Amino acid sequence: MKFALSIIAATGLTLGVVTAVVAQDDPVERRIAIMKDNGRQLGQIVPMTRGEKDFDAEVVAAAFQKLADNAASIDVDALFPEGSDMHAETKAAPAIWEKMDEFKAAMDKLKADTAEVAANPPTELAALGPAIGQVGQNCGSCHENFRLEDN
């Protein structure tokens, strides 16, 4: 009995470790996590443009820096491997692999725009809307072309 329990415990432990490694290495999980964080960053600053939150230059600069870091961390070849539109959780559209050059160009534009804004972040409320616009147009147009609709 003692023996059986220790085997179960040891197996459980091993499985736990393997699962954690797989989740971290799974390109679909990784790209979704990065995208979720993009949404979180915009969620910090968009309410400032609506007067729902006070403008805070430090929060704004940090959010744009994180958006730029997120964009820079996306290696399209690594995070969007062929066939990964078949993953259960993904909303990646087949168009990504049909028009890979266009998709990569859209990702490069996100990298360029986020880097530009992060290097010179808005220091007053009047400049926040246009900066969000410059970054946000990338999100919307890529999703329109390369992400499946929510069910």
Q: Which two tokens stand for residue 42?
A: 């915009």
Mark the segment that binds ligand HEC (CB under 6 A) among 3-11, 17-25, 34-42, 122-130. 34-42
Residue 70: C-alpha distances to residues 7, 9, 50, 115, 129 (Å): 42, 38, 25, 10, 20
**How many other C-beta atoms are found inside a 10 Å radius of the C-beta of residue 62?**
16
In the bound state with ligand HEC, the residue whose beta carbon lies nearer, of 38 and 48, is: 38
Which CB sits closer to ligand HEC, 13 or 98? 98
Least CB distance to ligand HEC at residue 86 (A): 11
Nearest to 51 by CA among 140, 111, 125: 125
If one asks whether residue 100 binds ligand HEC (CB under 6 A), the answer comes out as no
Based on the shown chain and the rule CB under 6 A, indicate whether residue 46 belongs to the binding site for ligand HEC: no
Give the range of 8-16, 53-61, 99-107, 118-126 binding ligand HEC by CB under 6 A.
99-107
CB of 78 closer than 8 Å to CB of 27: yes
* Residue 90 contacts residue 112 (beta carbons within 8 Å): no
92 binds ligand HEC (CB under 6 A): yes
- The dihedral sign for the CA sequence 115, 121, 67, 119: positive
For ligand HEC, the binding residues (CB under 6 A) are 28, 31-32, 35-36, 38-39, 42, 67, 90-92, 103, 106-107, 110, 135, 138-139, 142-143, 146-147
